[in-house]
Each structure stands twice: as structure tokens, then as C-alpha cells.
Homo-oligomer: A and B are copies of this chain.
Amino acid sequence: MPGFNEAFEIRKYPLPREIEPRAALVKVEMAGVCGTDVHLWKGQLPIPRPIILGHETVGVIEKLGEGLHTDWSGKPLRVGDRITWSAGMRCGHCHFCTVFRLPTRCLNRSAYGISFTSDEAPHFSGGYAEFIYLRPGTAIFGVSDVATEAVIGAGCALVTAIHGVERMGISFGDSVVIQGSGPVGLAALAIAKSSGAAKTIVIGGPAARLELSKAFGADHTIDINEFPNAAVRLEMVREHTAGYGADAVIECVGSPEVVSEGFEMCRDGGKYLVLGHYGDAGSAPINPHVITRKQLTVYGSWASEPRHMGHAIEFLRKQGERFPFGQLVSHRFPLDAAFEALQTTSKWASSKSVVVP
């Protein structure tokens, strides 16, 4: 990506001659196109250019730097292994890393596909490329026994959901409403069900997405096209929750308007997780009295930490059949059509587009 709102170009850079200790050179096998990539392309975040986008990636180890013998979870790493990694890296020394225990807000945080210009060595710092160079300290995970499609189909959405549900907590037996049936909504559904939710209600659309939600085990779905009236949707949620509202509501839409509706869907004493607002979509009217009167707790969670990726890989390994994230990969593009892949995602024309170099 040479600049904001510009078509992609293919550029050639020299591969690094030497691999630093604990670094790795990786041949990219598949890279996911994330909604965030569209935001980055539109210039909604101040990133350096030119840049190789791509922060959801699976590849094969080409070279291993000295001292890199095991992955993040302690399993052996060898040349030829198929791996993925946490895109974000923390410094480990700032106040957020050491005092606030909030590495996702590390003052020196950097991320593959977001923070590094391709004009500077080691050049290869994004997934939309033939190779990527993993710097020392990257949280690498072997995925030899997990399908590449599953890892990329789950993508950012799964680690985001794991982090968010960890923040809010789901108690065994909880009823959970999920606002939104996109990738984050599906991931939140899978994690809620696997964390003890006894009843799950997904509100979203279009119909195909809700079918997928049912395949993932949603007890009820509410189609916003069929029920465009918020009061009707609220009534439906109450019917499914003995009149009280849900124990927990997870927002996976990204539009500020849905938050008020979601507060009403919580039972008194319930929990609300703002999970879909990674991008800044502006404000909407919200009544704080509702938080007081219903004695709600509202949680936000930002990005994810390496341990969430570790949990995600383990989850895909064990629960892959129950939650077939691989099926989300709907459109494949070669590297020279990466811009087309981005456009497809931008137009919501695909379930999940991927680049296969």
C-alpha cells in the first residue's frame, strides 16, 4: 500500500541476509483481510507508508534465528513448521506493561501490518507478501495440527472475543445476547458457549449469517431485517429470558446506536461488553441513569495479548469440529490481487477474504 486510498503495488525488497538471534524468516501461506485493514487503507489511523498490510497470517518457517527453539507455549520449533503469531508486540518496560498490567495499551506497542514501513529494513513486516520477518520477541505458535483456514477464518475476531469474555466473565448458566452476527459476533458466540453460557441469542443479519450462528449453536436468532423495530427485539429477548433480560449482552456491531438497546436487554444486575468498537464510530445518546437503575457493569476490552492467541489455537485444535471457523474463508486471492481482496472486504461482499501468495 503506497498511500491512503491508493491501489496496492507489488514491490520487491531484498530478503535479510542474516537472521537476528530469536528472529525468524517465514514464507507466507495465507493472510486474512480484516475489516481493520479497510480502516487503515482509508487513513483512519496514522500509520507509516508505504506499508505491507496484513496482521492475520499463517506461514512456514524458512529460517530460524539463534536461540529460537520453542514456540510461545513451549513446543519445539523447526524449519518447515507451519506457524502463526500475535501481531501486536509490547515493550515490557512502560507503566502500562509493568504497573497497570495493561500490555494492550503499551506506550511502545507495535504490530505487524500496521506499525512498520516497508521502506525500512527488514522490509517484510506485513502478511500481504511472500515472506515476513518475525522480530525477536514475537509470540509464535505452532499450528501443525490446525487447519490454516481455521486459523485465518477465526483471525483477529477470535482473540478479540477471548479477551473480551475474559474481561467480562461469563458464569456457568448465564443467558447471553450477542448483538451482531459478523466475525466478532460468531467468535463471541463460540467463546460464550464454551465458557458456560446456558442460553445464547444472536441478533443480526443477513439470514445466511444467522444460519451460521445456528450452526455454531445459537439457541435463538433475531433477524434485524425481519424485526427492524428495537422494541419488538427487546420484547423477544425478554420472552427468551423469563421476562428479566439476559445475564450478559455482548456488543459486536460497531455502531454506537446499539448500545442503548443492549443496555435494555440486560437484566437488572447484568453485564454488558463493548466488543465491536475497535474503530471510532462516533457518539450516540446514552442514558447513564439506566446504568444506575439496572445496576449494570459495562466492560471494554482492547485488542489481545499473546496468551489469548495461545488459548485460541488450543480452542481451534480441540473444538474445531463444533465451531467450524474454517468455513468462513469464502474468497481467495493471489498476491497480485490483494487490492481486490481488500475491496471485496470493504464492500461486505465476502464472509472472509484471504490472500494466498
Contacts and interface: CB of A to CB of B under 8 A. Distances in A.
Interface string A105-124: 10000000000000000000
Given A194-B172, A268-B102, A302-B295, A281 B289 contact: yes
Given A301-B292, A306-B98, A165 B172 contact: yes
Contact of A280 (B166, B243, B260, B287): B287
Contacts of A242: 73-74, 95
A330 to B, nearest CB: 27
Interface string A291-317: 111111111111001110011001100
Contacts of A305: 98
B289 A286 contact: no
A46 interface: no
A274 B300 contact: no
A14 interface: no
Given A256-B288, A295-B104, A173 B283 contact: no
Contacts of A195: 172, 195-196
Nearest to A90: B98
Given A284-B285, A314-B173, A102 B292 contact: no
A21 interface: no
B311 A292 contact: no
A269 interface: yes
A279 interface: yes
Nearest to A278: B292
A97 interface: yes
A295 B299 CA distance: 7
A318 interface: yes
A92 B101 CA distance: 12
A277 interface: yes
Interface string A163-196: 0011101011100000000000000000100111
16 contacts: A92-B93, A96-B269, A98-B306, A100-B269, A102-B268, A172-B315, A173-B311, A194-B196, A198-B315, A259-B286, A260-B283, A291-B298, A292-B300, A295-B302, A296-B299, A297-B299
Interface of A: 72-74, 92-93, 95-105, 137, 162, 165-167, 169, 171-173, 191, 194-196, 198-199, 242-244, 251, 256, 259-260, 267-269, 274-275, 277-302, 305-307, 310-311, 314-315, 318
- For the complex of A and B, list the 5 residue pairs with the smallest distance between their C-beta atoms, beginning with the closest: A173-B311, A291-B300, A92-B92, A283-B285, A298-B298
